Amino acid sequence: MQFPPELDPEKIPAHVAIIMDGNGRWAQQRGLPRPMGHKVGVESVQAVVRAARQLNLQVLTLYAFSTENWQRPPLEVKALMGLLKSFLLSELETMVANNVSLRCLGQKERFPAEVRETLDKVIAATAGNDGLILNLALNYGSRVEIIDAVRVVAGKCATGELVAQDISEEIFAAHLYTGGMPDPDLLIRTGGESRLSNFLLWQASYSEIYFVDTLWPDFREEGLVEAIRVYQGRQRRFGKTGDQVQQS
Ligand code: FPP
């Protein structure tokens, strides 16, 4: 991909996070079983990861499976597990070759052993890479993530490693699954719904949010470029006035 002329290379977001919604509807609109939507959705994942590398993003976070998604029909959950495993296996070489580092946000213990082992293998094989960080949010829920962090921080207070008064936003954020990474600058949700669905609630405090009707299987490289174009047209004020931001 040539660098898109409509984008400003100086204002590329460091971290883009995506709620990949609309696979089921995409399939249903075509009279296909829902898992077919997820299968084609994997092609969008591949296209968006490739584009993220080419645009020089630092971090791409994809919401692939929520803590609530276990409630879906067993066949759909099984299909998603299968797709995840085959995606990881088929992309391993490409990730290594392209300096991508795969991380998992979420409690992967609940995944079937073969999926967990594949995940661990890819995470280990790409751990030394210092290019794009690809976070897959898997068995992820933002409230559970915050509770996990509270438990660790409270444990450190109990042992005296931390003093409650010293807990700052930075210290707390370092205990989230995204510790050490920048917060998302841009959060995209495809599929026409306008909600966060328990995704990155702490980290998205100042993210620019972009809701788009496109169903995830139709959201490819062009979709990401358009989202970033809209993002670049917005003024991020972080609580300041527009005039103050312009002066700085
Ligand atoms: C939401 O669409 C999507 C999901 C719950 C799963 C997303 C998974 C993939 C894109 C494929 C697997 C991922 C990787 C990283 C290999 P939905 O089913 O809720 O759509 P609907 O709202 O139209 O029903």
Task: Give the pLDDT confidence of 34-47 residue by residue, as tens digits.
Answer: 999 999 999 999 99
Around ligand 1, the residues with Cβ closer than 6 Å are: 20-25, 38, 41-42, 45, 62, 64, 69, 80, 83-84, 87, 136, 191, 216
> For the sheet containing 59-66, what is the strand order?
101-105, 133-140, 59-66, 15-19, 186-189, 208-211
Nearest CA among 105, 23, 90, 92 for reference residue 59: 105
Ligand 1 atom nearest to CA at 193: 22
pLDDT band at 1, cuts 50/70/90? Answer: confident
**Quick one: pLDDT at residue 238?**
80
Task: Give the pLDDT confidence of 113-143 residue by residue, as tens digits.
Answer: 999 999 999 999 999 999 999 999 999 999 9
Task: Give the pLDDT confidence of 143-152 residue by residue, as tens digits.
Answer: 999 999 999 9
